[in-house]
A = this chain, B = another copy of it.
Amino acid sequence: MEKTATEFTDKQLAIIDAAQKLFAESGFDGTSVRDIAHEAGINVAMISYYFGSKEKLMEAVFEQKANHTRIKVENLLQNENLSPLEKVNVLIDDYVDKFIAQQEFHRIMIREQLIEKNNAVATLIYELKKRNQDSIKKLIHEGQKGGAFKKNIDIVLMMTTLVGTVSQMITSQRFYREMNHLEEMPEPEFQKYIRKKLSAHLKNLFKVILTYEA
């Protein structure tokens, strides 16, 4: 879109996928370039050769995968058939769907945000969150202008609940399964199940946050 994405070759994409998988499973420091090379079926030297360094590979993972995490609100704003709350609900669904579909990448994001020291990836995450924040802000303001939403809304706090709830669900889905005796449910079905649950739950919460006076 606004940014010319780097074009990766098929081999590079294979490395990026392998890296994403292993970074999600074991973290950046817990994954060796040899692990990644083995997972991708390529020579270790290729990683430095193609990406320069392990760090740069992580950045490439972000560059390649982060777009799937962007909330898209442009078309929604112009849609005149939906009420502001309906638009927010569409957004929640979009967001939950993306999170569930891109779990590996989101696990990496959750982890990377915990790193104290600044780095290139932290900056990328910051920008991503900023953009998402701005998108949702537009939508909320629109609702506020029309009187559908109340005036005093802490959007960052609201987003914290959105992101936090979905992140926590990804993090502890095994716990959720066990608490609800869903151990035997096939993975795809379970993904659909929690997507639906999360969606309804968050829509309910957002309705309160956006419309009820405290």
Q: Which residues of A does B touch, CB under 8 Å?
A: 24-30, 107, 110-111, 113-117, 126, 129, 133, 154, 156-157, 160-161, 163-169, 171-172, 175-176, 179-180, 197-198, 200-201, 204-205, 208-209, 212, 214
Contacts and interface: CB of A to CB of B under 8 A. Distances in A.
B113 A111 contact: no
A164 B156 contact: no
A173 to B, nearest CB: 10
A161 B160 contact: no
B160 A165 contact: yes
A172 B161 CA distance: 12
A86 B172 CA distance: 28
Question: How many copies make up the complex?
Answer: 4
Nearest to A126: B175
Nearest to A194: B157
Given A114-B107, A114-B111, A161-B205, A180 B156 contact: yes
29 contacts: A24-B114, A26-B115, A26-B117, A27-B29, A27-B115, A28-B29, A28-B30, A30-B115, A110-B171, A111-B111, A111-B114, A114-B171, A129-B172, A129-B175, A154-B201, A156-B175, A156-B179, A157-B176, A157-B201, A160-B168, A160-B169, A161-B168, A161-B205, A163-B164, A163-B172, A164-B168, A168-B168, A204-B214, A205-B209
A9 to B, nearest CB: 19
Nearest to A109: B171
Contacts of A126: 175
Given A154-B201, A161-B161, A164-B168, 14 more contacts: A25-B117, A26-B117, A27-B30, A29-B30, A30-B115, A107-B114, A110-B171, A113-B171, A156-B180, A163-B172, A164-B169, A204-B214, A205-B205, A208-B212
